[in-house]
Structure 1
């Protein structure tokens, strides 16, 4: 690494994308001749040609292709290190976008309040995450982090602090045989059509929230599911706070004994971890109803 200039590496990366000296110069705000000079200096350090240039085309040499494949991710990681250091130096400021699935209830609002009190220079914005797409908003960069229903088994996502566990209830129509029951055993749901989410929710996630082998409709949103429940097209599992929030006269929510508790967790993309995200995770952890944080 002795003597390597970061500008030479930046020039090579841009040229590898553009394969045109003029366009590379425009992106770097330098002249075409300066691009040639930077490339020549880098090739001299490497000891071989990285780019072939003719009157008709510009292309990478085989060595240049290998060099680019290794350099691009290393440069991206270096840029990330600098950005994270910059964020730490200036503190938590700007805005953080938090997605939520189901209901932005008192548990989430307590975490947001704690975050805002601790970081008045950063505005927390919230947006609903579609029931059938729990991880998409994080992956697309629409939110910085999201509070979603577990399980989460996505290799590109980090699972942070968990919210308190809640008993599950089954939503049924007022005309359903279960509607008059004070509670149910999990085994009694075996033959009940349970409404599930559609794709892009992963199959393992859909099955966890609709553990039934009886065919039932699939929905994109929670409201679609409750509408089908009211029409007696099937039943739907919901955690107790969500059931209470979405109470309606044509739907009854019956507690279910013997099912795993419903748990919410904070997730963010591995490449999108910032000081703001870490600070919000600490606020979630510090909320009174947070019970545990998974090991890294």
Structure 2
């Protein structure tokens, strides 16, 4: 029995009307009638009782309907799953973000989940001290990183959002009482230096090497994570620009966050390993770009 014939039988069993069945399946009533007759001949018994006014299943037809219905649903579910897999909608996609930045792309994550409900979306944290390590090791499929990213093996997608920087200082620091600071002020105080394989050009877009007037900005305590950096800042040995989103979630009695009037604005975009681009990666970038 062909799949189309099974579909005709199940639809007629539901509609109990040749005309409606034909209309629903977009075939002619003659095709429906021919299919049912062929099935009855093959089985050797009537599946429907037909009169000029009614159509109903015979006991044999009811038994066949019960068995075929479950099998047909399994077959169609398998076809749907295979189709989704071929289109890249099944599997796992791992997104890496800094700290709590997954909140900033909540709308993108929701849209992707709506479009690809069979895909498992996982979130992992990326450390600023090693922005590309997870991508290159395959632990992360897409990283939401601040720009610029100038790595020959990585592809950069569309900008998604921006973040202003504030200056994190000890609550007892002379700058803590200010209502704002300028980047020039960093020439007077040592700043946190990152301990990790972050390229200089990436870190300098966050914490420049010199002030606007050209004075060097001294590097002090090294840190590998944001928590390590904030601990050192709270102890008063260093200061550091930090993202305003991180500052909003790190209100502490030993820290003060002072707006930087002329500080860099961080621009974030999805980044992925070019050689590992998949249909899932492209689907996420499409959702991120508003497409």
TM norm structure 2: 0.65
Counting only pairs closer than 5 Å after superposition, residues 62-81 of structure 1 correspond to structure 2 as none
- 1:118 to 2:115 alignment: yes
- 1:154 to 2:151 alignment: yes
- Please, what is the CA RMSD of the aligned residues? 1.9
Task: Give the superposition deviation at 1:211.
Answer: 1.8
> Which stretch shows the higher mean deviation, 248-257 or 104-113?
104-113
Task: Give the superposition deviation at 1:166.
Answer: 2.0
Corresponding residue for residue 97 of structure 1: 94
Q: Deviations over 1:26-59 (max 9, x none)?
A: xxxxxxxxxxxxxxxxxxxxxxxxxxxxxxxxxx
Inter-partner Cα distance in structure 1 for 2:252 and 2:147? 25
- 1:131 to 2:107 alignment: no
Inter-partner Cα distance in structure 2 for 1:183 and 1:142? 39
Q: Please tell me whether Structure 1 or Structure 2 has the larger radius of gyration of its CA atoms.
A: 2
Task: Give the superposition deviation at 1:199.
Answer: 2.4
Q: Aligned residues, how many? A: 202
TM norm structure 1: 0.64
- 1:252 to 2:256 alignment: yes
CA contact (8 A) 1:87 1:274 kept: no
Task: Give the superposition deviation at 1:90.
Answer: 3.2
Inter-partner Cα distance in structure 1 for 2:166 and 2:207? 12
CA contact (8 A) 1:166 1:239 kept: yes
Corresponding residue for residue 225 of structure 1: 229
Gapped regions of structure 2 (runs ≥ 5): 1-82, 210-216
Which residue among 169, 172, 175 is the counterpart of 2:169?
Answer: 172
Task: Give the superposition deviation at 1:111.
Answer: 1.6
Inter-partner Cα distance in structure 1 for 2:107 and 2:156? 20
CA change 1:285–1:246 in 2 (3 A) is: farther
Corresponding residue for residue 199 of structure 1: 196
Corresponding residue for residue 281 of structure 1: 285
Task: Give the superposition deviation at 1:173.
Answer: 0.5
Task: Give the superposition deviation at 1:259.
Answer: 2.0
Task: Give the superposition deviation at 1:92.
Answer: 1.4
CA contact (8 A) 1:194 1:214 kept: yes
Task: Give the superposition deviation at 1:88.
Answer: 7.8
Partner of 2:266, secondary structure, is coil
CA contact (8 A) 1:158 1:269 kept: yes
- 1:185 to 2:182 alignment: yes
Gapped regions of structure 1 (runs ≥ 5): 1-85, 288-296
CA contact (8 A) 1:102 1:131 kept: no
Counting only pairs closer than 5 Å after superposition, residues 28-107 of structure 1 correspond to structure 2 as 89-107=86-104
Partner of 1:162, secondary structure, is coil
- 1:242 to 2:239 alignment: no
